[in-house]
Amino acid sequence: MEKNEAQVTVTGWLNDVKDFEWGRAIKVGVDVRKKNDQDEWETVDKTVYDCTTDDRTPLDEVRQVRVVGRITGTNVFQKRDGSSGFSIKVRADSVVPLDGKTQGAAVNQVWPGVGAGKPVDEGAPF
């Protein structure tokens, strides 16, 4: 029998990185785009992915990442403008930087020791 789980691959903008004893928490933003009345693409919103991982890949000066993992839940939060926001929680099996020299080479690379099969820390900040 197959295990029921929602696998996800997210390519987006790295917004925040926080290191803890148990691992790392990162926020990844993905632009939601649609065509406007002038038939031009525009960004109308962002989807936020709150990711936790054991991966300690250096992310200094990295702007874009690819995260592969499983969805563990959702979160509703209040934005700075007072409106409600929504994020998707992901337990990441891999986090790959996609900036400059690493973009082409790292696309299919899975970094070792990144939490596959480990229990999700319910006390994680997101």
pLDDT (0 to 100) of residue 38:
94
At residue 65 the predicted structure's pLDDT band, cuts being 50, 70 and 90, is very high
Q: Rounded distance, CA 55 to CA 96, Å?
A: 10
- Give the number of domains in the chain: 1
Which residues span the domain enclosing 21? Answer: 7-106
Q: Is residue 73 part of a domain?
A: yes
Q: Is residue 118 part of a domain?
A: no
Contact 97, 75 (CB under 8 A): no
Q: Among residues 66, 73, 113, which one has the least CA distance to residue 90?
A: 73
Q: Rounded distance, CA 117 to CA 62, Å?
A: 27
Higher pLDDT, 80 or 67: 67
The neighbour count for residue 91, using CB atoms within 10 Å, is 25
> Taking all residues of the chain, what is their mean pLDDT, rounded to a whole number?
81
At residue 56 the predicted structure's pLDDT band, cuts being 50, 70 and 90, is confident
The neighbour count for residue 92, using CB atoms within 10 Å, is 29
With a CB cutoff of 8 Å and minimum separation 6, the contacts of 118 are 54
DSSP character for 73?
A: E
Place of tokens 């700075």: 80
Of 4-8, 58-62, 98-102, which gets the smallest average pLDDT?
Answer: 98-102
Higher pLDDT, 4 or 42: 42
Q: Is residue 121 part of a domain?
A: no
pLDDT (0 to 100) of residue 97:
94
Look up residue 75 and give its two tokens. Answer: 């979160």
SS3 string, 17-32, reads EEEECCEEEEEEEEEE
Q: Enumerate the β-bridge partners of residue 46.
A: 31
Q: Is residue 48 part of a domain?
A: yes
At residue 112 the predicted structure's pLDDT band, cuts being 50, 70 and 90, is very low
The CATH number of the domain holding residue 26 is 2.40.50.140
Q: What is the pTM of this model?
A: 0.70
Q: Is residue 111 part of a domain?
A: no
